[in-house]
Amino acid sequence: MSSSESKYRPPTKEILSKEQLEQFQASETHAAIIAYIQRLNESVVGVRLTDPCDESEAVKAIIGVLDSVAHLATETPPVDNAGSRFGNPAFRDFYDKVKASSKELHSRIAGIPEDSVQEISLYFEESWGNRTRIDYGSGMELNFLCWLYCLERLGVLRPEDDRAVVVRIFWRYIGVMRVLQSTYWLEPAGSHGVWGLDDYHFLPFLFGSAQLRGHRHLRPKSIHDNEILEEFSKDYMYLACIQFINSIKTAHGTKSTRV
């Protein structure tokens, strides 16, 4: 089926002006994406990363795809970058490999209509960083979320999968991103500096806070206690993220943020 006959088409950039952004913010699509994030969020209230979690065939297949992406990074080591350590050009090769493998990777997930791949694959391909700028920001994270949402709309992922989508799929994505960020020295895109916790990500803090909601002992100020981080980061996304920030920020780690 050619793309002119298909109801699917490759996405194009449409939000270019303030007015278009406002239009988008008032749209059904925007409301639907927010609703999906909220639904995912609610599904992990009080849930630990280490708790048992059923994984459907779709969830397993998607995790397999993420493993393959990680493997592509292993096969694409950083190059000598005398010009500037930040933004290793090997990232572009990695990006191109993901793009080239995209169709095959999608074929491993049962239930995706073949002609929909031309539309949904763009979100997947843009989840890893910007090819030109060799940077990464929360916009790319949103691309990944949109890809998941597309899979939901296609019926590949179902509401029963919500918990696994967060604590298995999304958390695995974060793991892959940490590797890419450090391997290729991705520049933080749109970081809030000391006015935010993380230079790259937003959703793990949102979902992470849902996990901790109602916890009997842990409170937000627990993030300053290294022993708590040591003990509980395996269970809770939020704490794992803080621990990661501490390990890479120079100077004073979480002390170097106003948050």
Our CB check for other proteins shows the closer of 16 and 26 to be 16
CB of 256 to other proteins, least distance (A): 5
Give 36 or 207: the residue with its C-beta nearer to other proteins.
Answer: 207
Please provide the DSSP assignment of 8-76 as one string.
---------SHHHHHHHHTSHHHHHHHHHHHHHHHHTTT--TTS-----HHHHHHHHHHHHHHHHHHTS
Cα–Cα distance measured from residue 151 to residue 248, given in angstroms and rounded to the nearest whole number = 34
**How many Å apart are CA 189 and CA 101, to the nearest integer?**
26
Pick 5 or 217: Cβ nearer other proteins: 217
Binding site for other proteins (CB under 8 A): 15-17, 21, 83-86, 132-133, 187-188, 190-195, 199, 219-221, 248-252, 255-256, 258-259
Instruction: Name the token pair of 257.
Output: 């943020």
Cβ nearer to other proteins, comparing 113 with 253: 253
